[in-house]
Amino acid sequence: MRSEKQYENFIMLVEWRHMEAGGNSGVFVWSDAIPGEKDRLPGGVEVQMLELDWVNQNIRDGVKPPIAYVHGELFGVGGVVTEPDNPRGTRSKSIENRALGKGQWNSYKVVCVDGTIKLSVNGKFVNGISKSSIKKGYLCLESEGAEIQFKNFQIVELPPGVTSEAQTVKKVF
């Protein structure tokens, strides 16, 4: 699901909860309107929303991923490049786990201005990226197979910045 219009500088407020253990979801900002031919996800910046049990369900080579991977990771998808505040490779991980588990409502405040994103989880800023190669695009909701619920989705638009055509995704009519 995606927005009808593109957004550049804005504050997004959203509450979400996973209804199944280990659910994988997110919100894409500055996103393409549709996924690329070879991709299942649109290009853009993903704001990760994983259920807490995801780390127990994704053990690889006997190693459980850190809880910091679960919520609030920020990363470019589909060729979008960013500079992480809290690097984990090209991704930026949360500096504190503030997510609540299955069935409990979580609150995200996502502040997107001039290629910089700051994320607040349940009332505290915990992550950010800067220098995004894309600074204007659509908003998309994502679920990778498990039920997730959203409520109180709000967008407050801020004044535009200086954004070139190359930093804007293609419009779909």
Q: Which tokens is 133 given?
A: 């190669």
In a domain, 149, yes or no: yes
The count of domains in the chain is 1
In terms of residue numbers, what domain contains 115?
10-167
Q: Which residues pair with 17 in a beta bridge?
A: 149
pLDDT tens-place string over residues 14-59: 999 999 998 999 999 999 988 766 667 788 999 999 988 888 888 8
* pTM of the predicted structure, to 2 decimals: 0.91
Judge residue 154's burial from the number of C-beta atoms within 10 Å of its C-beta, 0-12 exposed, 13-18 middle, 19 or more buried: exposed
Provide the residue type at 173 as one letter.
F
Local confidence band at 98 (pLDDT 50, 70, 90 cut-offs): very high
Residues 6+ apart with CB under 8 A from 173: none
User: Domain holding 118: CATH number?
Assistant: 2.60.120.560
Residue 106 lies in a domain: yes
Q: Is residue 60 part of a domain?
A: yes
